[in-house]
């Protein structure tokens, strides 16, 4: 039976290193695993008045539907100012609204990321841990994937071209998928 991992990039930039890392994950998924790429692009800033007046936005219900059918989630996070990107946190906050909170409970989640800096996304990945605990998601800690100095490893279109990084990503995905 095929396993589905919902992959989310926390960047809106078209040639983003993290969106490229997510596309590479979809390409390198082990046999029997599909990485379905979701999008946070159309998720508005959270506004309780908007939610009360109009309900959940279509972009949020689409993500919740993908979350519901996924066996796991792969969060690909940039690191901004030593933490998670606000746009990504906002999308996850929206996804937890209405029926969304129960969809996270027990859902296996792995967090990876790429950064032009020398430390990869170690602080952003750690920043996600209290959020995942609050959602009662099952954070997978069986491996780490932090792509440092990403400017040297991706092309101008945001495609991961570095063979060593691609192999490490494939190994990470085998470990994560093997835990499902």
> DSSP string spanning 128-161?
HHHHHHHHT-EE--S---EE-SGGGTB-TTS-B-
Residue 54, Cβ density class (10 Å: 0-12 exposed, 13-18 middle, ≥19 buried): exposed
**Is 25 in contact with 74 (CB distance < 8 Å)?**
yes
Measured CA to CA, the distance from residue 40 to residue 128 in angstroms comes to 17
pLDDT value at position 134? Answer: 97
**Is 120 in contact with 114 (CB distance < 8 Å)?**
yes
pLDDT value at position 138? Answer: 98
**Is 137 in contact with 75 (CB distance < 8 Å)?**
no
Point out the residues of the chain with pLDDT beneath 50: none
Region of residue 115 (phi > 0: left; psi between -120 and 50: alpha; otherwise: beta): beta
pLDDT value at position 14? Answer: 87
**Is 90 in contact with 51 (CB distance < 8 Å)?**
no
Strands 146-147 and 33-37: unpaired
Closest by Cα among 55, 24, 5, 31 to 154: 24
Using DSSP, state whether 6 is helix, strand or coil: strand
Helices 17-28 and 163-178 meet at what angle, rounded to 10? 60
What is 3-178's CATH number, 3.20.20.70, 3.40.50.360, 3.30.70.141, 3.40.50.300? 3.40.50.360
Rg (CA), the chain: 15
pLDDT value at position 31? Answer: 97
pLDDT tens readout for residues 8-41: 999 999 899 999 999 999 999 999 999 999 999 9
pTM for the complete prediction? 0.96
Q: Where in the chain are the domains? A: 3-178
Measured CA to CA, the distance from residue 6 to residue 98 in angstroms comes to 19
pLDDT value at position 1? Answer: 83
């Amino acid at each position: 039976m095929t396993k589905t991992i919902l992959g989310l990039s926390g960047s809106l930039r078209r040639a983003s290193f993290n969106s490229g890392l997510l596309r590479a994950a979809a390409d390198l998924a082990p046999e029997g695993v599909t990485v379905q790429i979701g999008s946070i692009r159309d998720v508005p800033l959270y506004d309780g008045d908007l939610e009360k007046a109009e309900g959940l936005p279509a972009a949020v219900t689409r993500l919740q539907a993908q979350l519901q059918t996924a066996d796991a989630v792969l969060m690909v996070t940039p690191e901004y100012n030593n933490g998670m990107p606000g746009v990504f946190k906002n999308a996850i906050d929206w996804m937890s609204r209405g029926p969304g909170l129960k969809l996270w409970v027990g859902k296996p989640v792995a967090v990876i990321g790429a950064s032009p800096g020398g430390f990869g996304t170690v602080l952003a990945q750690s920043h996600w841990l209290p959020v995942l605990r609050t959602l009662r998601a099952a954070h997978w800690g069986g491996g780490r994937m932090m792509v440092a100095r990403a400017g040297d490893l991706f092309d101008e279109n945001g495609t991961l071209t570095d063979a060593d990084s691609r192999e490490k990503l494939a190994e990470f995905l085998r470990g994560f998928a093997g835990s499902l």
